Amino acid sequence: MPPPALDEWSWQQHGLCRDHPAEVFFPEEARGRPLRRREDAAKAICLTCPVLARCRAHALSAPEPYGIWGAMTARERAITLSDER
């Protein structure tokens, strides 16, 4: 088995999300408007992040089933992936 590709994850060290609590990007127990407000707040951070493209590419290729990654919700990622088929 090859060793783990640690440099594959090095981009995460430059993510603006590191400066915020995980709950911002992985909102739990919120529904409706409160959930959308939290998602919008996370997306606003993502949109100014220097690793936005890399984060989004990772989330779409992994695929990440939860949270905000690359300014996209899990639902938005699922739609994007289904549109690509």
Question: What residue segments make up the domains of the chain, in order of their start?
Answer: 23-83
Q: Are 11 and 55 in contact (CB under 8 A)?
A: yes
Q: Are 35 and 25 in contact (CB under 8 A)?
A: no
Does 68 score more than 50 pLDDT?
Answer: yes
Instruction: For residue range 3-22, list pLDDT tens digits in order.
Output: 444 457 788 999 999 999 99
Q: How high is the pLDDT of residue 85? A: 66
User: Could you say which DSSP state residue 48 is in?
Assistant: T
d(C-alpha 31, C-alpha 29), whole Å: 7
Instruction: For residue range 9-62, list pLDDT tens digits in order.
Output: 788 999 999 999 999 999 887 789 999 999 999 999 999 999 999 999 999 988
78 is in an annotated binding site: no
Q: What kind and span of H or E run contains 21?
A: none
A 10 A CB-CB count for 34 gives: 11
Q: How high is the pLDDT of residue 29? A: 77
pTM attached to this predicted model = 0.84
76 is in an annotated binding site: no
17 is in an annotated binding site: yes
31 is in an annotated binding site: no
Structure tokens at 78: 């699922």
